[in-house]
Amino acid sequence: MMDEVSLFCGKHGISIPKMNEGYSNGKSKHKRSNISYLHHFHVEVFYAVIDLALQELNNRFDVVTSDLLLGMASLSPVDSFANFHKDRITKLAEYYPSEFGDKELRELNFQLDDFIVYAQKCDSKFLNLKRIKDLARVMIETKLDQT
């Protein structure tokens, strides 16, 4: 794909900057800043796009929906539970007061601490899981659903 972009730019006389060169904001061709094109891309472009996307998500989802989505995402087993976030999972549980009273929420905190250590370091069955249904299957196989 990069080759296609390079060919297109060459064909249409569009220069492709080297990312480690100094960034020029276009006002003066001779005046270069101490900022590289890569830094400019990260800060001025990438972060601005991420901010717009985040604002759009915040406008579409209320706090409860966001908490539920973040809690579910925190349960994802991808990359050895890279998105694991105990507080978000606990917040998710708080939306189910008939299932999780104060005592159960305290226990859940301890159980989540134990679980993440076990899943990441003690049992290879938890490695390379991709979906929550895979996590549920392994938890049943290892009888962790009964604790």
Per-residue pLDDT, 29: 57
Give the C-alpha separation, 98 to 104, whole Å: 10
Per-residue pLDDT, 39: 86
The residues spanned by each domain of the chain are 2-60, 63-146
Which has the closest alpha carbon to 125: 117, 133, 134, 114?
Answer: 134
Specify which residues 36 forms β-bridges with: 22
Give the C-alpha separation, 18 to 10, whole Å: 14
Please count the CA atoms within 13 angstroms of the CA of 41 that sit on its side-chain side: 9
Summarised one tens digit per residue, pLDDT across range 100-118 is 999 999 999 999 999 888 8
**What is the token pair recorded at 53?**
């996307």
pTM of the entire predicted model: 0.60
